[in-house]
Amino acid sequence: MRRLSFAEAIRECLFQEMERDPSVIVYGIGVPDFKGIFGTTVGLGEKFGPQRCFDTPLSEDIMTGFALGAALKGLRPVHIHIRTDFLLLAMNQLVNMISCHNYMTGGHTPVPIVIRAIIGRGWGQGAQHSKSLFNYFTHIPGLKVVAPATPRDGKGLLAAAIRDNNPVVFLEHRWLHWIEDDVPEESYETPIGVAQTLREGSDLTIVATSWMVIEAVHAAKILAGVGINVEVIDPRTLAPMDMAPIIASVKKTGRLLIADYDWLNSGLSAEIAADVGVACFGRLKQPIERVGFAPTPCPTVRTLENHFYPNAETIVRMAEKMLQRAPMDLSGVDFFSHERRFRGPL
């Protein structure tokens, strides 16, 4: 099988979906330009023409409501935002209109819309260009929320999102774009709402979201070196969350660590903890623990970012604490290879 980067996998999916279904349109600020949203939309405008792939004015509010109108008249809009922070300008349309439209009409009018947005850390992006906002979307009934962490899932989940008759918010961490993986060439769907166990283990269950999946796998390898066997679960879909494998895993390990790529307060991690607390009451050997962003706005400078964002080291330390192990010497381990790789200005 070929290896593709996450960005190439997303781009291939958009080409295949637009080819397969003439009702798919793809738009957003900067979508047809030469940089093409981290390379994920490059060439779409040339291939499918300006009616099906277009740039927009700086008008997130209208372009979101516009998606609802277009969907009601038979199109399948894919609206792309280069930062998830810009979606905050679209929340009225997303939350008051799109999420509940089908419900309000008694199920007569499905709205197949995909909102793709880039989340997370880049190059000193600061407080306004770095959010995840998972819980903003997962909180709302009627929205599906997907956050793939591998190229293969990226391609398959985007296809599933585009073919889904409900609004789907598709969140991708910008550093994922360079991660490579075997990706099937033909078009395929990865089902929405199905988690994946990336690593089996008996000592501790880690549920990780988006970029934290990469960090959790790294941490699991380090922990394996000292005989700690960690099970890593990537929910892939954040809403609806596939709780069954998580609950089964915690029943086996008796310990749960949630590594969320977001703030903890009132976050998705609290929701997972609550569900597991109910389902695994009496089976937990240890209180559930969580790691996530520091409880501050995101600072710009890297030295502070390194404290703000959790990483594999944060996970290793928390796992050691949960298993009453003495902290191991991590001085030889590189935890910041991705931080160094991503260079400005974007």
Partner 1 sequence: MANTHNERLKRLIYQTLLIRRIEERVIELYPSDKIQSPVHLSIGQEPVAVGLCEPMTARDVLFTTYRGHAYYVAKGGKLPELMAELYGRKGGVSGGKAGSMHLAAPEVGMMGSSAVVASTIPHAVGAALAAKVRGDKQAIITIFGDGAIEEGVYHESLNFASLHKLPVLFVCENNALAVHTPLRERQAFDIVTHAKAYNINTTVIEDGNDLIKIADTSAKLLESLRSGGGPEWLMIKTYRYKEHVGPGDDFDSGYRSRAEMEKWLATDPLYRWADLVKEMEADVKSEIDRAVAFAEASPAPGLADLLTDVE
Give the type of residue at 151: P
Among 248, 304, 328, 333, binds partner 1 (CB under 8 A): 304
Q: Which of 139, 106, 314 is nearest to 219 (CA)?
A: 314
Strands (E), the chain: 3-5, 24-27, 53-54, 76-81, 114-119, 144-146, 168-173, 180-182, 196-199, 204-208, 230-234, 237-239, 256-263, 289-293
The only residue of 7, 10, 14, 29 in contact with partner 1, by rule CB under 8 A: 29
CA separation for the pair 155, 148 (Å, rounded): 9
Shortest CB 122 distance to partner 1, Å: 8
Q: Binding partner of residue 297 among partner 1, ligand TPP, none, CB under 5 to 8 Å per kind? A: partner 1
| Helix axes of 243-253 and 268-279: crossing angle, nearest 10 degrees | 60
> Quick one: CA torsion of 244, 120, 300, 178, rounded to 10 degrees?
120
Q: Is 8 a catalytic residue?
A: no
DSSP letter (8 states) at residue 113 = -
Kindly state whether residue 27 participates in binding ligand TPP, applying the rule CB under 6 A: no
Binding mask 56-95 for ligand TPP (x = CB under 6 A): --x-x-------------------------x--x------
Query: Which residues in 99-118 contact partner 1 (CB under 8 A)?
Result: none
Q: What's the first-to-final CA gap in the chain, in angstroms?
A: 31
The answer to whether 155 and 181 are in contact (CB under 8 A) is no
Q: Which is nearer to ligand TPP, 86 or 164 (CB)?
A: 86
Stretch that binds partner 1, among 182-190, 283-291, 298-306, 316-324 (CB under 8 A): 298-306
Q: Which does 123 bind (CB under 5 to 8 A by kind): partner 1, ligand TPP, none?
A: partner 1
Burial bucket for residue 153 (CB in 10 Å: 0-12, 13-18, 19+): buried
Contact status: 29 vs ligand TPP (CB under 6 A): yes
Establish if 343 lies at the interface with partner 1 (CB under 8 A): yes
148-187 residues in contact with ligand TPP (CB under 6 A) are: none
| Angle at the Cα of 265 from the Cα atoms of 260 and 271, rounded to 5 degrees | 65
The entry of ligand TPP, partner 1, none that residue 302 binds, CB within 5 to 8 Å by partner kind: partner 1
Measured over the CA atoms of residue 69, residue 70, residue 75 and residue 76, the dihedral's sign is negative
Active site residue 215: no
Q: How far is the CB of 335 from partner 1 (least distance, A)?
A: 15
* Options 30-38, 178-186, 227-235, 271-279: segment touching partner 1 (CB under 8 A): 30-38
Should residue 119 be labelled a site residue for ligand TPP when binding is judged by CB under 6 A?
Answer: no
Instruction: Report the catalytic residues.
Output: 60, 129
Applying CB under 8 A, which residues contact partner 1? 29-30, 33-35, 55-62, 85-86, 88-89, 122-129, 294-297, 299-304, 307-308, 343-346
Applying CB under 6 A, which residues contact ligand TPP? 29, 58, 60, 86, 89
